[in-house]
């Protein structure tokens, strides 16, 4: 996916590229009087066309979200992150009984603390607990 697919409206590629350039320029600006000319040029460009405003608004929102994610990156405790299983682990061969896992596989689920058949038993028990009081 490229940057042009992120924009909601049809904005010409040249406008998107110019908006990207302006975001980079504005991000580097400091609050100094000698940089006022750059700000004036930006506001003139922004006022020239609604497509400029659309491209800048969407791209600056993405820029801000990326900056937020970068600031949160240091706060994530990597030891608490749960890794996704690899595709090689997900594509285990099925047993001769169809798609049911082998008994050894169901007893040795690496991502859970209980055998896989226990989840079915728990679900049936819960349903019986809800239905039986209504019958008796």
- pLDDT tens digits along 54-66: 888 888 888 888 7
Q: Is residue 84 part of a domain?
A: no
Q: Map residue 8 onto helix, strand or coil.
A: coil
Q: What is the dihedral of CA 114, 118, 120, 124, to 10 degrees?
A: -130
Domain stops at, among 76, 91, 113? 76
Q: Is residue 82 part of a domain?
A: no
Find all residues with CB under 8 Å of 52, minimum gap 6, and list them: 15, 18, 19, 45, 46
User: What is the longest distance spanned by two Cα atoms in the chain?
Assistant: 85
The position carrying tokens 């209504």 is: 134
Other C-beta atoms within 10 Å of 66: how many? 10
**DSSP state, 82?**
P
**pTM assigned to the model:** 0.46
Q: Is residue 88 part of a domain?
A: no
Which pLDDT tens digit goes with each residue over 55-99?
Answer: 888 888 888 887 777 777 777 776 776 777 776 655 555 555 555
């Amino acid at each position: 996916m490229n940057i042009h697919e992120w924009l909601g409206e049809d904005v010409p590629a040249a406008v998107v590229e110019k908006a990207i350039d302006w975001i980079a320029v504005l991000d580097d600006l400091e609050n100094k009087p000698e940089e006022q000319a750059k700000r004036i040029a930006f506001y003139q460009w922004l006022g020239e066309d609604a497509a400029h405003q659309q491209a800048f608004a969407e791209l600056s929102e993405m820029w801000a979200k990326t900056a937020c994610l970068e600031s949160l990156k240091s706060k994530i405790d990597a030891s608490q992150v749960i890794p996704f299983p690899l595709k090689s682990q997900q594509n285990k061969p099925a047993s001769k009984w169809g798609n049911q896992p082998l008994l050894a596989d169901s007893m040795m689920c690496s991502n859970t603390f209980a055998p896989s058949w226990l989840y079915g038993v728990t679900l049936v028990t819960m349903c019986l607990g809800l239905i039986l009081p209504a019958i008796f």
